[in-house]
Amino acid sequence: MNQQETGAGEIKISARDVQVHYGDNHALVDVSVDISDKMVTAFIGPSGCGKSTFLRCLNRMNDTIDGCRVEGDIRLDGEDIYAPEVDPVHLRARVGMVFQKPNPFPKSIYDNVAYGPRIHGLAKNRSELDEIVEKSLRRGAIWDEVKDRLDAPGTSLSGGQQQRLCIARAIATSPEVLLMDEPCSALDPIATAQIEELIDELRRQFCVIMVTHSMQQAARVSQRTAFFHLGQLVEYGETGQIFTNPSDPRTESYITGRIG
Amino acid sequence: MLWLTFLIIVAAAALAYVLNLRAARRLWAEGARLHSITTFHALYALFLAALPAFVFVVLWLALSGPVIGALVLSGLPDEVRAGATAAQENLLLSEIRSLARGQAFGEPEPWKAAAAARLTALEATEGWARLALVSLIAAAGLIYARTRVSASFRARQRVERIINGLMVFCSLVAIFTTIGIVASLFVESMRFFARVPFFEFLFGTNWEPQIPIREDQVAGAGAFGWLPVLLGTMVITVVALVVALPIGLFSAIYLNEFASPRLRAVAKPVLEILAGVPTVVYGFFAVLVVAPALRQAGQALGVDVSPNTALAAGGTMGIMLIPFISSFTDDALSAVPRSLRDGSLALGATRGETVAKVLFPAAIPGIVGGVLLAVSRAIGETMIVVMAAGLIARMTINPLDSVTTVTVQIVTLLIGDTAFDNPKTLAAFALGMMLFLVTLGVNIVALRVVRKYRELYD
Ligand SMILES: Nc1ncnc2c1ncn2[C@@H]1O[C@H](COP(=O)(O)OP(=O)(O)O)[C@@H](O)[C@H]1O
Ligand SMILES: [Mg+2]
């Protein structure tokens, strides 16, 4: 276990002075943050404060939104991900994303997981692909539930299972970073607990960044927490520190329930 | 006089509405807690004043004509009526009617003039009686509705029941009209099959719908095998789809996924204009532009192209179908949730991969619906093929040949002076019946396919 956790604390992503505009709306202002590898970093804050926007900067999903402009410097392992020679398509294979609402493709469970490996040509033959699919489903903690019906449509699963399928699908391209935008907000408490447990597992291999509106969830699963407010990164640090002894009065009002 | 009748109904309805509205408002102003809001009391009165009177007028109009006719006929001198058949009586009656309207040819016999005068008198009486009765019925409804206004009266439920009844009535009208059309097609087809054996029609490979004009004529008895006509329809439909499918699909995919918003804003309306071009215009285009161009191209290549080709008619029809397919595809693609698109892009798929592997499969039910609708249109399309396809039925699948279609044959069979009881004319109904069955089949398959995909993907 200790061996697996080596590398924890190394800086995976570093962002400097990130600005995001949607047309005239200045959605993110001067965000600078260093995100550590092999840890869960939680983004919290009232809705509309820019958490999802910042998350989408990290895999350049903002490129697909008309009128969205990103400025500043974001580095993954020291490489500028907005450099002209970087292909966002390759970046997204390294930085996987899981969305708020489970969004399995209208395909079989197998094809859902095999989607990424197929488009990136990760498997040489069918048996390698089978292997990748099984490994991903196991890591997504859903293998035992679906191993007998890999041909069933992904949409036939329950909400919690669908979300774990989507996590498995993201893992299948062997990313280094996993972005999760409120991955539990459409799920019931039991499914939420399963996903939280899974996220805790995943941090052994990935750098996990998770947006949540539940402070309990942030406290339970994350090691670092960033608090956003009105497009600014107000406070960032050890999760325990943020929740027990915040240094900014705005953070304190938010976690005690006075703003948000 | 008719307009006066309807004016009375409208006026009574308006008056009833206002009276009840006022009465209900007064109650409300006096502090009563009305069960239904005032509008419903007013609507209740409106329906009660108008509906029974309207139904009465319709029934009256349907019945009064025959009744008056019978009265006039029964007043004719016995020697005129003796031995007259129903058809002769009808003829006589219309003669008297035109006489009453002042259109006389020469000097009418005195008994005809007397009958015309009687007709005029009867019609006047009928008009006044109708006015009086309608006024009475409308007034009765109005007064009854007015007496019902009270705080506890459930006007809303009554009005909802009436409106419900009206909706049921309208859907019944639609259903029974359809049934009626199909039934009449069926009956006429049966009359055709009494003259031409069913299997000869169904499996015959020769279509020459000529019949001897005189009894003793030796000319061919005519052949009624519909297969070459069906084959012609299918060749043209296939040609049309070969043109329309790729162009429609790819233009929709391009506009939906790749085009800039500005280009899309221009291109979509242009495609919709294409859907608004009348088919006659496409027909011109096929005859004057496409067919000569094909012929020239054929000559240049040394291929023999007939002046009317399935290719010209089908190709033009394909252009007509492009907007169908592209707008269905566009709608189906737009209906795919954004989350699927994002999910695919976030896995590192390109836009093209996303379209091909996620969006297009998810949009298939809608696209299939559009394609099959286009097939029905192609099978039933008449104008373009009448103008651009040929008239001679041939067993051929060569698109450079002249072929004919079911619709073209129906048109040519019914054009000109034809009696409605010879096989040539009746054949049109049989063809119409088969056309209906084929289109019905296509639509049923369309629904099946769509449902199957829904099950897979929902
Ligand atoms: N696709 C978009 N187009 C335009 N404005 C957007 C878009 N997404 C987010 N915004 C705006 O950016 C701001 C931050 O939104 P978001 O990042 O979604 O907040 P959060 O995830 O913290 O609730 C909001 O003001 C929102 O209106
Ligand atoms: Mg959000």
Dig out the tokens for B258 from the structure: 């790749």
Per-residue pLDDT of chain B (458 residues; tens, 9 = 90+): 789 999 999 999 999 999 999 999 999 999 888 888 999 999 999 999 999 999 999 999 999 988 998 888 888 887 777 777 778 888 888 888 888 887 777 777 888 888 888 889 999 999 999 999 999 999 999 999 999 999 899 999 999 999 999 999 999 999 999 999 999 999 989 988 888 888 888 888 888 877 655 555 554 567 888 888 999 999 999 999 999 999 999 999 999 988 888 998 998 888 888 888 998 999 999 999 998 898 888 888 888 888 888 899 999 999 999 998 998 899 889 888 999 999 999 999 999 999 999 999 888 888 888 888 889 889 988 888 888 888 888 888 888 888 888 998 888 888 876 666 777 888 889 999 999 999 999 888 888 877 776 665 55
The bound ligand whose nearest atom lies closest to the alpha carbon of A182 is 2
Residue burial B231-261, b: 16+ Cβ < 10 Å; e: rest: bbbbbbbbbbbebbbebbbebbbebbeebee
CA distance A110 to A96: 18
Task: Determine the distance in angstroms separating the CA of B253 from the nearest CA of chain A, rounded to an integer.
Answer: 17
Dig out the tokens for B239 from the structure: 């040609």
Per DSSP (E only), the strands in B228-279 are none
The single-letter DSSP state of residue B107 is -
Give distance in angstroms: CA of A52 to centre of ligand 2.
4
Dig out the tokens for B44 from the structure: 């209740």
CA distance B336 to B340: 7
CATH superfamily of B207-457: MetI-like (1.10.3720.10)
- Please answer whether residues A229 and A254 qualify as being in contact, where contact means their C-beta atoms are separated by less than 8 angstroms: yes
- Please answer whether residues B364 and B283 qualify as being in contact, where contact means their C-beta atoms are separated by less than 8 angstroms: no
Residue burial B363-400, b: 16+ Cβ < 10 Å; e: rest: bbbbbbbbbbbbbbbbbbbebbbbbbbbeebbeeeebb
A172, closest residue in chain B (CA to CA): B347
Dig out the tokens for A56 from the structure: 């989408």
- Please answer whether residues A160 and A184 qualify as being in contact, where contact means their C-beta atoms are separated by less than 8 angstroms: no
Flag whether residue B340 sits within 8 Å of chain A, measured between CB atoms: yes
What 3-state class would DSSP assign to B338?
Answer: helix
Q: Count of H helices and E strands in chain A?
A: 10, 10
Strands A224-229 and A232-238: antiparallel
Check CB contact under 8 Å for A119 and B340: no
Rg (CA), chain B: 32
Chain A residues with CB-CB distance to B349 below 8 A: 89, 115-116, 119
Dig out the tokens for A64 from the structure: 């697909």
Distance of CA B420 to the CA centre of its chain: 23
CA distance B18 to B146: 10
Dig out the tokens for A162 from the structure: 């669908």
Flag whether residue B186 sits within 8 Å of chain A, measured between CB atoms: no
Residue A6, Cβ density class (10 Å: 0-12 exposed, 13-18 middle, ≥19 buried): exposed
Q: Where in chain B is the domain with CATH 1.10.3720.10?
A: 207-457
CA distance B272 to B72: 58
What 3-state class would DSSP assign to B94?
Answer: helix
Residue A93, Cβ density class (10 Å: 0-12 exposed, 13-18 middle, ≥19 buried): buried
Dump pLDDT digits (tens) for B226-284: 888 999 999 999 999 999 999 999 999 999 988 888 998 998 888 888 888 998 999 99
Residue A91, phi then psi, degrees to nearest 5: -55, -40
- Please answer whether residues A98 and A170 qualify as being in contact, where contact means their C-beta atoms are separated by less than 8 angstroms: yes
Dump pLDDT digits (tens) for B70-92: 888 888 887 777 777 778 888 88
Task: Determine the distance in angstroms separating the CA of B350 from the nearest CA of chain A, rounded to an integer.
Answer: 6
Q: What is the mean pLDDT of each run of 10 residues along chain A (260 residues)?
A: 54 95 94 95 93 95 92 94 93 94 93 95 94 94 94 92 95 95 91 92 94 91 95 94 92 80
Check CB contact under 8 Å for B349 and A119: yes
Q: ipTM of this predicted complex?
A: 0.92
Domains of chain A by range and CATH? 11-102+175-255 (3.40.50.300)
- Considering only the beta carbons, identify the residue of A64, A91, A106 that sits closest to B362: A106
- Please answer whether residues A207 and A176 qualify as being in contact, where contact means their C-beta atoms are separated by less than 8 angstroms: yes
Q: How many CB atoms lie within 10 A of CB B448?
A: 11
Strand order from edge to edge, sheet including A177-181 = A95-98, A177-181, A207-211, A40-44, A224-229, A232-238
CA distance A57 to A60: 5
Task: Determine the distance in angstroms separating the CA of A255 from the nearest CA of chain B, rounded to an integer.
Answer: 31
The bound ligand whose nearest atom lies closest to the alpha carbon of A63 is 1
